[in-house]
Amino acid sequence: MTGEIMLQSFIDACPGLHFVTSPEGVITMANQAAARAFGEEGAEGRSLWETVHPEDRGYFRALWARMPEDGEALSAVSRLRGTDGQYQAYTFSARRVKEGPGIHAVLLPAAPAAPAAVPRPEDPAVILRHILDSLEIAAWIVYPDGSCTFHDGKSADTSGLGRHFLVGKNLLALYESDPTIKENLQAGLRGEARHYIADAHDMLWENWFSPIKDARGEVVAALGVTLDKSDSKRSMQELQNKLHLIDRQQEVIRNLETPIIEVWDHVITLPMVGIVDSARAARVMDDLLTAVSRQNARYAILDLTGVEIVDTATAAHILSLVSAIRLLGAEGIITGIRPTVAQTVVSLGLDLSRVTTCANLREGLRLCIRRMQAQAKGGTSVGAPG
């Protein structure tokens, strides 16, 4: 007890504001000057962090956490809130007591800053401010406990978040549910440089994360730089939407150019119009054979009334289609062959002896009906009309 009284008397006689805290920042003793400057917030049992400016709190806590065991003093400048509610800059020196876990800290009001010189364009601070205000990026500082003390840059404005949006927040808690962001934050605070892309706040961000280390190589904080990639995301989404639209339009076109119609029970027809090239003939074969199998068709009529020209390869495709239909247990019938198409087929010397043809679609349908009626009566198939 006598020792505590002597220590209290000693720190009361010390110049400046004197605190003794636990490693967690809880005040265990303060001199009269500190009590006058900070009132209840500087009293025993309170946390010293309560008086520190939110932007400085992460740095302040990180400094306390890495206080050397050998009693070496650490010095810095921070802003603390006085009894009038205003923040004032203090220079402080703190060291760990060798005989116990306590930390002694002495604070003195910081000297007023000298008038600033006219900044030059090549000054790093001017360059940094120009980058933050001109490019679609933002920079932020996070400390090992996850607290953010700096967040600035143009993209913070254009995203609608606002500059300083992250200041005072714990990023590890804020992004707890986002494994990509949280994992990269933790890696950066362990000392790893990271580059990753993530969605956050309805925006797409490209992130660079770089640890900041002290003279001993220990991570004291990390710098994050984010680039707003939302325009690229929107452009990519618009491109994908256009591609999907094109795919749907092509599907509609394919369905229109190969409209397979069930004109009678077990009778389907495919009316073709326009120029039939090899690629279209191949699509026709796929669609028609699928329809024959799916609808259990007995007859498939390929109507060429609207086709004026076919090339030699296409003519071969059409005849192959009739053979493929026969393999599925149905019969293929070609109707409406125009003179020009007939000439092409003949010039190829193709064998038409096993291909049933009719003058037009009506005659082809009539043939199919007669054959099915004859089969139903147990009779023989009826030939093509003469």
Residue-wise pLDDT tens digits, 256-271: 556 888 888 899 998 8
What's the rounded Cα separation, in Å, for the pair 192 and 36? 44
CA distances from 338 to 188, 278, 305, 319 (A): 75, 18, 7, 15
**Residue 237 confidence class, pLDDT cut points 50, 70, 90:** low
Q: Could you count the other beta carbons within 10 Å of the beta carbon of residue 2?
A: 6
**How big, in percent rounded to 5, are the helix, strand and coil portions of the chain?**
40, 30, 30
Q: What is the mean predicted confidence (pLDDT) over 89-96?
A: 85
- Examine the pLDDT at 6 and tell me if it is beyond 60: no
Phi, psi of 298 (to 5 degrees): -100, -25
- Give the pLDDT score at 99: 72
End-to-end CA distance of the chain: 128
pLDDT > 90: percent of the chain: 11
Average pLDDT over residues 241-268: 75
pLDDT at 379 over 70: no
Q: Three-class SS of residue 73?
A: coil
- CB of 152 within 8 A of CB of 164? yes
Sign of dihedral through CA atoms 338, 342, 343, 348?
positive
Q: What pLDDT, on a 0 to 100 scale, did the predictor assign at position 268?
A: 92
Q: Which of 66-80, 114-128, 139-153, 310-324 has the highest mean pLDDT?
A: 139-153
Stretch 35-45: mean pLDDT, rounded? Answer: 83
Mean local confidence (pLDDT), 373-384: 64
Helix crossing, 230-257 with 278-294: angle to 10°? 80
Is the pLDDT score of 124 beyond 80?
yes
Residue 385 has pLDDT above 60, yes or no: no
- Residue 18 in contact with residue 106, Cβ under 8 Å? yes
- Number of other residues whose CB lies within 10 A of the CB of residue 365: 20
**How confident is residue 331, by pLDDT bands cut at 50, 70 and 90?**
very high
The first and second tokens of residue 252, run together, are: 């509609």
Q: Which of these ranges, 42-51, 148-157, 269-278, has the smallest mean pLDDT? A: 269-278
With H, G, I as helix, E, B as strand and everything else as coil, classify residue 229. coil
**What's the pLDDT band for 8 if we cut at 50, 70, 90?**
low
Is-above-0.75 flag for pTM? no
Tell me which residue of 136, 149, 121 sits closest to 57, measured CA to CA: 149
Q: Closest Cα partner for 109 from 77, 133, 138?
A: 77
- Tell me what pLDDT residue 381 has: 45
* Angle, alpha carbons 375-376-382 (nearest 5°): 30
309 and 278 in contact (C-beta within 8 Å)?
Answer: no
What confidence tier does 384 reach under pLDDT thresholds 50, 70, 90?
very low
Does residue 13 carry a pLDDT above 70?
no
Residue 366 has pLDDT above 70, yes or no: yes
Q: Which two tokens stand for residue 109?
A: 């009001």
Which amino acid, 323? S
